[in-house]
Structure 1
Amino acid sequence: MGLFTRTIGMASDKVTSAQVVLADGRTVTASATQHPDLFWALRGGGGGNFGIVTSYDITPSPLSAVTASNLVWTYEQALDMLDGWTRWLVDAPWSIGGGANVTLVDAGPSNIPTVGITLGSVDTGPAYAAEVQRLISLVGHAPAFNQTFTAPYQPIMMNLYRCTDLSVTQCHRSDTSPGGQIPRPEYGAWRGRLFDEVMPRDGWSRALSVVEGTARIAGQSRQLQISALGGKANTVSRTATAYVHRDTDYSASFLTSNANPVTEDVKAAALQFVDGGFAAVDPYSNGETYQNFIDPRLPDWKRSYYGENYPRLARIKSKYDPYNVFRFAQSVR
């Protein structure tokens, strides 16, 4: 899920063909005219299910200058920020994407979470400034920090991923890419749900209580992350591709990472946090979960990830991988 999903849609919607190595060793082209059933499944059917994609062709979306904003509020205003953000998102133009975060960089008992919203817009004119002001009005408080800047797409994205002072080569994981300087945490946990309605304030209050008080442990970072969906991504029907979440407006996720040595206490605290967050917001969700963020603790994963598309995915799986070579705990089968 990217900053401009609302503007250009899901990245998989832009793919026009893919080269795929199947379980029997054959390499095939999947497209609208060649193996169209496999092409349908690859676009949202989860990674590692049908074969190894070695390359793909994609229709680019031209982006020149974009405008971005970083808005920060005090933690005392976190509930108003989350409530205002989702009420703003209902009517926000497709030209704007972004997300809201409540972050504990270090979950030590005395530390206070930071709260903020990141916005990105392909509309760099006065209409964007007016939308930022509408958002601030719905929050009900002026942000303590408000930074807006316009730049080419690449510098904006490098800044978003904290790579401003790095080259493109360096802005990769250090454990998988030569020259990469982005470390991978030793351990992390994640759980989340998708939403097609505005969360009531009581829901956000429950979510914040998990951030504030659940098994706080020094050295562990934690975040409540809300990402905007909808817009262009929702102009496609639920069954047009395997990605089924075409009526979702936003996601809400609880995630942790840990740079310190991972003990059983660290793992237990992380799971208690993400489980508590999931339980707090699940009653308000549409019961679905983004399939690229696998949740091993999700009992209803077939419905949550794939909805009504799962039976078709299972038929395609049996056709292209009849012996279930590509398998894992939550693989299509």
Structure 2
Amino acid sequence: MKGTWELALIASASLAQATSTASLTAAATTVADTAVSAPSLFYNERVQLTEGVLADVSVALQNETVASMFAFASNSSSQSTATKRSVLHSCKLMPGDSWWPLDLIWDVFDLLLGGNLIKTVPLASYCYPEWPQYNSAKCAEITADWLNSDLHMADPASIMLPLYEGRSCLPSPYNYTDSCTQGAYPTYAVNVSTVAQIQLAVNFARNLNLRLVVKNTGHDFNGKASGKGALSIWTHYLKDKSYLPNFKAANGYVGPAIKFGSGIQVHEAYEYAKTLGHSVVGGEAVTVGLGGGYTAGGGHSPLSSMYGMASDQVLAMQVVLADGRFITASSTENSDVFWMLRGGGGSTIGVVTSLTVKALPQLETTTVTFNFTVNDTPGPNAFWAAVGSYLDNFESFVDAGTYGYYYIGASSMEIGTTYAGDTDYYFRMESFVAPNMSVAQTEALLAPWFNTLNSLNITYTPWYNHADNFHDAWEVAFPQEYVGTDVVKTASRLLPRNVFQSDDLRNQTWAAYKDAVNQGLFIAGFHISGTGIAVEPPTDSALLPAWRDALTHVIVGSQWNFTSSWDVIESSSLFVTEWMDVLREIAPDSGAYMSEGDLIEPNQQDAFYGANYPRLYALKQKYDPTGLFFALTAVGAEDWEVQTTDPLPYSWNNNGRLCPKSS
């Protein structure tokens, strides 16, 4: 019995003739929109792959073996030869493997995609003479913009945190070696503009046992959009949006809503909502993709203490599942998918093409920004007392619907912590956000804390910014953050209300903050709740339950230099993971936000998913039995390992072959 690729090789001559004479074109058809209770499909969602289209492809190719590579999944005994070859939970193929698709197959795939297949190269390859792309002028442009999110999100393969793709190709001075390799940047990417293209990519990857990743913008603390040898689905340009002033959702909600393509970013969502006289829940970071892993993972927001998490806002979504089929999910239609994708994490069972969310009232909003260093205080004791007074007020701040984003460390540059024992302490309030509050109301809320700062002789100058809408206040308070470096590793913990209601636990938390900084770590924290004061949280959500009782989300990080060895990275990573036991012991029944969590978090499933995990895992097996979708922190990740090629333990980054977990 000849194998799949022997058959393909035998047929290659006739296939080449077919592709040149049959005018093989994009595999898609435009279907009618039959939605009743769901929002109307965008035009790009009506351009779909169907069985009829696949039959036409088979006729044009004159090669059943190759045509079957694009078939939908089937549970019948007549499933394709290619699908049979995709052994359940076998190692994913890599370039150079004997069964890796021939160039001719990739050419056919590109034709069916309408020319939207990209053979990727590392963004910084322009800086390396051994790469064909080498161009010193282009290199200078890339290097100048390297820390800017816009550069990386506009590239089909680049991610914001290259540590997790293997530090494989960075420009000077950010590189630790003088070479450039592909690393865990995907080998190919599909720049999708239609549902049909996503379906083709999903089917192709599943049937040929390729590693598949999804990139929206590339924002992710753990590099989910990277994968060595992978095919990437790039959803960044799914930018449609539609206002639904009187939407009737399946869950009983009646009111204004907005449907967003999954490539819409936070700043675009906020801007559009403002033009309509509304607000929407989105992230603090300007360039995060609203419909990617952000919402799927729960999505915390400057509006969360008022309205809850981003996942709480979703009323319906359109999804391409692992079998290649396109569905609508709501509280009554494909309700288990709807439940899972509202807080159960991204890279799990499908690719979201759009989501419909609540359009909230337009809110006047006040933001406050300020900082102080140890030099603005009588000394270290006063500095830490000032930090403690902030923790004393967490409960009242959250119960007023506000949000605070702050940094604590020790550095003359007020970034990170320079070294263990550094006493250049700083506190930086990136922004205190008070939705539905005037400046006077915000000042009154802050008065107990600021009175304490005054009594401690702290010098600080708060800058108040007010607007009659959320977007304008947010825009000036949250500039784009730096990305592109590989010098930080973080871990996180949610701390619940009872911690701040207990003098003992609150003091333990304060002491932990101080200890972290003194040991060379830094803190990026938020006072926040996943239960908004203005609404009741939904019950049909897979969100980590610990979010509902949280008063703060604490990120603790370690750092090193651009030229640090992998040994330094490993030891630094282990140190912050182990140090976090302090916060785990303070809040043992809580958890951690998966999208900003520790890649090597102990008891990961419980920490990121809590009591929801057994059901999430069962649904993962139901909807994605071959493990097509994978990420190192996603549901089902424990079944797989990345056989890391860098000198790190397995699954510490995405730079390696993806295989079933070793027994």
Q: Provide the TM-score with structure 2 as the length reference.
A: 0.43
1:108 aligns with: 418
Match of residue 144, structure 1, among 457, 460, 468: 460
| 3-state DSSP of counterpart to 1:24 | coil
| Equivalent-residue separation in structure 1 for 2:518 and 2:538 (angstroms) | 36
Q: Is the 1:71–1:145 Cα contact (8 Å) retained in structure 2?
A: yes
Q: Structure 1 113/276 Cα, relative in aligned 2: closer, same or farther at 3 Å?
A: farther
2:254 aligns with: none
2:395 aligns with: 90
- Unpaired runs of at least 5, structure 1: 164-170, 172-181, 215-221
Q: Partner amino acid for 2:396?
A: D
State the Cα distance separating 1:107 from its structure 2 match: 3.6
Q: Partner amino acid for 2:632?
A: A
| 3-state DSSP of counterpart to 2:549 | coil
Q: Which has the larger radius of gyration?
A: 2
Q: Structure 1 276/96 Cα, relative in aligned 2: closer, same or farther at 3 Å?
A: same
Q: Structure 1 321/132 Cα, relative in aligned 2: closer, same or farther at 3 Å?
A: same
Q: Is the 1:94–1:231 Cα contact (8 Å) retained in structure 2?
A: no
1:290 aligns with: 593
| 3-state DSSP of counterpart to 2:573 | helix
Q: Partner amino acid for 2:370?
A: L
Q: Is the 1:194–1:251 Cα contact (8 Å) retained in structure 2?
A: yes
| 3-state DSSP of counterpart to 2:597 | coil
| 3-state DSSP of counterpart to 1:331 | coil
Q: Partner amino acid for 1:61?
A: L
Match of residue 557, structure 2, among 241, 255, 266: 255
State the Cα distance separating 1:131 from its structure 2 match: 0.7
- The 5-angstrom pairing of residues 164-243 of structure 1 reads 183-196=483-496, 197-198=499-500, 199-214=505-520, 223-230=522-529, 232-233=531-532, 236=536, 240-243=540-543
Match of residue 34, structure 1, among 333, 344, 350: 333
Match of residue 433, structure 2, among 112, 120, 131: 120
State the Cα distance separating 1:51 from its structure 2 match: 1.0
Q: Partner amino acid for 2:602?
A: P
Q: Structure 1 326/183 Cα, relative in aligned 2: closer, same or farther at 3 Å?
A: same
Q: Is the 1:185–1:258 Cα contact (8 Å) retained in structure 2?
A: no
2:616 aligns with: 313
1:134 aligns with: 448
2:473 aligns with: 156
More strand by share: 1
Q: Structure 1 184/208 Cα, relative in aligned 2: closer, same or farther at 3 Å?
A: same
| Equivalent-residue separation in structure 1 for 2:400 and 2:540 (angstroms) | 21
Q: Is the 2:577–2:598 Cα contact (8 Å) retained in structure 1?
A: no
| Equivalent-residue separation in structure 2 for 1:78 and 1:303 (angstroms) | 36
1:167 aligns with: none
Q: Structure 1 81/18 Cα, relative in aligned 2: closer, same or farther at 3 Å?
A: farther
2:355 aligns with: 56
Q: Structure 1 273/148 Cα, relative in aligned 2: closer, same or farther at 3 Å?
A: farther
| 3-state DSSP of counterpart to 1:3 | coil
Q: Structure 1 6/71 Cα, relative in aligned 2: closer, same or farther at 3 Å?
A: same
| Equivalent-residue separation in structure 2 for 1:63 and 1:277 (angstroms) | 42
Per-residue CA deviations over 1:82-111 (Å, capped at 9, x if unaligned) read 322222121234332113320341543457
Deviates more, 1:134-143 or 1:76-85: 134-143
1:271 aligns with: 573
Match of residue 68, structure 1, among 367, 374, 384: 367
| Equivalent-residue separation in structure 1 for 2:459 and 2:571 (angstroms) | 32
| Equivalent-residue separation in structure 2 for 1:308 and 1:143 (angstroms) | 46
Q: Is the 2:322–2:629 Cα contact (8 Å) retained in structure 1?
A: yes
| Equivalent-residue separation in structure 1 for 2:522 and 2:407 (angstroms) | 7
| Equivalent-residue separation in structure 2 for 1:71 and 1:29 (angstroms) | 45
| Equivalent-residue separation in structure 2 for 1:60 and 1:241 (angstroms) | 19
1:327 aligns with 2:626: no
| Equivalent-residue separation in structure 2 for 1:27 and 1:259 (angstroms) | 45
Q: Partner amino acid for 2:440?
A: P
Match of residue 384, structure 2, among 60, 79, 83: 79
Q: Partner amino acid for 2:529?
A: G
Q: Partner amino acid for 2:444?
A: A
Q: Structure 1 277/305 Cα, relative in aligned 2: closer, same or farther at 3 Å?
A: same
Q: Partner amino acid for 2:359?
A: P
| Equivalent-residue separation in structure 2 for 1:6 and 1:57 (angstroms) | 21
User: Bigger relative contact order, structure 1 or 2, given CA contacts below 8 A and separation 6+?
Assistant: 1
Q: Structure 1 22/78 Cα, relative in aligned 2: closer, same or farther at 3 Å?
A: farther
Match of residue 313, structure 2, among 6, 11, 14: 14
State the Cα distance separating 1:113 from its structure 2 match: 3.2
State the Cα distance separating 1:292 from its structure 2 match: 1.7
Q: Is the 1:85–1:138 Cα contact (8 Å) retained in structure 2?
A: no
- Unpaired runs of at least 5, structure 2: 1-299, 375-379, 637-663
State the Cα distance separating 1:43 from its structure 2 match: 0.7
1:179 aligns with: none
Q: Structure 1 60/153 Cα, relative in aligned 2: closer, same or farther at 3 Å?
A: same
